[in-house]
Structure 1
Amino acid sequence: MKAKRLFSLTIIISILSLVIAGCSTSSSNNSKENETITLKLATYVPVTSQVYKYVTEPWMKRVTELTDGKVQFDAYPGEQLGKAQDMLKLTRDGVTDIGVFPANYFPDNMPLTNALAGLPNLSMTSHQGTVAYNELLQQNKELLETDFSKNGLVPILGHVSPTYEIWTTKKEVRVPADLKGVKTRTLGGVANEVYEYMGAVPVTVSHTETYEALEKGVIDGAGYSSVGVEASGTADLLKYATFPHIGTAIHGLVVNEKVWNGLPEDVQKAMKEAGQELVEQSGEKYDQDTEAFNKEFSKTGTIVELTDEEKGKWEKVTKEFTEKWLREQGSKDFPYEEVLNQYKESLEKYK
């Protein structure tokens, strides 16, 4: 009888132990699910830049909203974690969880996006380019693999700036021949080749270093969008603006792949959703700011009004450059022409 009671007591104790353990595990899991996730985000632009105001900051805010405060961010703008040219490496190596930087700075790492950014006469507005590029990013596996996966990055969105134009301190530029010998700030990559083809002297200068370079005469002008001029504070140094659509900048908001894989599915979904919302909004705001800035600049500087003949010369030389550049890439392993044509098709839909 005693043996039976002892056996029964042992069974009851075992069952209670399992119940308590289960409750403890459940409590631990719930605690983990409700745990705050703090992610580090770095970018080279200051908080005054449109890239920060219209893309970076609202994206962080929206992700926090969509996750009911579960995801928080430690942001490091203005090159606090490293120079612009280091941003891809810093994100890939996990120094920062999330990075915001232009593909233009990394022609070797992001060759396809760099080509779409540097080649002239593609997107005409920020909205058009941003919507078309993100559509391409979702449809073209080669682009995703070559420019992002191989670098250990997961893209949330790509933002296309307004077109880059020619801004100069002393010399009015009306036709490509006027660029001969002009030291011009570029973002590097294909953009350098475009300016070299037209006789200019391309100088790779980062956004944060442009003012000093202009002020000291290191460069005579800059390949910039209107909002880029505004954000860099260089408007007071620049006297002339010529608008032949010489490329653009394509910024990626990207997450370190290992960090991404470790995030809960609901957080990944929130990040993607927040990014998609900004695809439409950010480009429209950029275009509004472009129009407003150009009106303001024209009060103190000169926006060059090109004749039809002068416009024809720009179209001729930029078309020649693109055809030549594509021929030269023929022996390389990247499908430049295929991606370019697909991008053009998307651009046509959003004119």
Structure 2
Amino acid sequence: MTRRLRRSVPLAAAVFAAALVSAQAAEVSLKLADSLPAGHSITKKATQYFFDRAKTLSGGKVEFQHFPAEQLGKAKDLLTVTQTGLADIGYIVPSYVSEKMPLGAVAELPGGFNSSCEGAKAFWALAKPGGLLDTLEFKPNGVRVLYVVALSPYQAIFSEKAGFKSFEDFKGRKIRSNPGPMELALRDLGAVPIRMTPPEIFDAMTKGTIDGALLPYTSTFSYGLNAVVKSVTVGQNFGTVGITYSINASKWASLPRDVQEALTKAGDETVGHACAQFDQEEAELATRLKDTGTLMVTFTPEQEKVLEANFASVSKDWAQNLEKRGKPADKVLAAFRAAIAAQR
């Protein structure tokens, strides 16, 4: 045997042994499905961070298989995908499944908070295990929330064709929004809300099918919309999207206690880490938009009061409509506002 071969044999054995230990250490493999492109800000700042923390806190006992970009199902179907076990953890947005989780849209009400961290931490207080939304909606649907995401407050973004320059220009504009509270807010401003998924917005704005959209600046860049956006609002809160990453309850019950503890701690840490990252990025991207010639539209104090009244009316109508259906929306709204106030 040559000297080089004698040196390589122990090295190969060591590599094989390390790989074997690693494979043995990962006792639990979890499939996570979402609808986001792999490079989305949420994936980078929340999901990947959660993966890394869970692996570290579990001592390598848990690993993840990530299925992004609707590989296992459309965004609106990911609750079912998680309930049936096709995925262990799913990107579950209450407003996408409003027939099953209508109260979860409380995080999406416009005007309620000033930053991602205010919104995310308040939403987390209600959605985490033992919270009010967990009791009312997530647990009855057979899922347990691991962590939540609330992006920075949404702004109104517009294409060059839209010619948006002032508050009055909302009237008659076709604007993509999430279903629910955002639609109500736009209608009160005289705009026409349009439903479509984020990946569809670029073509729709380019072709003039819609004039604009409600999105945070982070998503504006994640979906490449900065290439077509020419004017945006500044300092508003047209709502956000309340996102959960939730695990199938039966799958959760089957996990070893130490893995459960690792996932719980990783999820709690992810909420605070991700929202701070979103808020920082939002400020940086606002500067980038301005520096590249985007018109940054601000409103007068009188117009701000109109918006404030608009948003208050939307929240009231949202709660009243659900109360008529026997849903305790007033209680949920009060709890959400209290959770925001507690942070201030």
User: TM-score higher than 0.5 here?
Assistant: yes
Displacement after TM superposition at 1:313 (Å): 1.7
For residue 112 of structure 2, what is the amino acid of its counterpart? Answer: L
Match of 2:324 in 1: 331
Match of 1:237 in 2: 228
Displacement over 6 Å in runs of 4+ = none
Change (3 A) 1:325 1:253: closer
Match of 2:266 in 1: 274
Match of 1:3 in 2: none
Displacement after TM superposition at 1:317 (Å): 2.0
User: Whose Rg is larger?
Assistant: 1
- Percent of paired sites with the same residue: 27
Please say if residues 133 and 158 of structure 1, whose CA atoms lie closer than 8 Å, have aligned partners that are also in contact.
yes
Pick aligned residue for 1:346 from 326, 333, 339: 339
Change (3 A) 1:173 1:336: farther
For residue 168 of structure 1, what is the amino acid of its counterpart? Answer: F
Match of 1:121 in 2: 111
Match of 1:265 in 2: 257
Match of 1:89 in 2: 80
Equivalent residue of 1:184, what SS?
strand
Displacement after TM superposition at 1:35 (Å): 6.2
Match of 2:164 in 1: 172
Structure 2: gaps of 5 or more residues: 1-23
Match of 1:102 in 2: 93
Pick aligned residue for 1:48 from 33, 39, 42: 39
Match of 1:64 in 2: 55
1:313 aligns with 2:306: yes
Paired residues, number: 317
Equivalent residue of 2:33, what SS?
strand
Which piece of structure 1 moves more, 325-334 or 63-72? 325-334
For residue 224 of structure 2, what is the amino acid of its counterpart? Answer: G
Match of 1:148 in 2: 138
Separation in 2, partners of 1:264, 1:127:
31
Please say if residues 126 and 134 of structure 2, whose CA atoms lie closer than 8 Å, have aligned partners that are also in contact.
no
For residue 324 of structure 1, what is the amino acid of its counterpart? Answer: D
Match of 2:207 in 1: 216
Which piece of structure 1 moves more, 41-50 or 131-140? 131-140
What's the Cα RMSD here? 1.9
For residue 320 of structure 1, what is the amino acid of its counterpart? Answer: S
Structure 1: gaps of 5 or more residues: 1-32
Displacement after TM superposition at 1:65 (Å): 1.4
Match of 1:256 in 2: 248
Displacement after TM superposition at 1:139 (Å): 8.1
Change (3 A) 1:72 1:242: same
Separation in 1, partners of 2:125, 2:27:
32
TM-score, normalisation: structure 1 = 0.85
Displacement after TM superposition at 1:100 (Å): 2.0
User: Could you give the per-residue CA deviations for residues 181-222 of structure 1, whole angstroms, max 9, x where no partner exists?
Assistant: 211111213322222232222111112222122222221100
Which piece of structure 1 moves more, 138-147 or 227-236? 138-147
Displacement after TM superposition at 1:303 (Å): 1.0
User: Could you give the per-residue CA deviations for residues 154-187 of structure 1, whole angstroms, max 9, x where no partner exists?
Assistant: 1012111111111111232533x53222111112
Please say if residues 35 and 70 of structure 1, whose CA atoms lie closer than 8 Å, have aligned partners that are also in contact.
yes
Equivalent residue of 1:329, what SS?
helix
Match of 1:287 in 2: 279
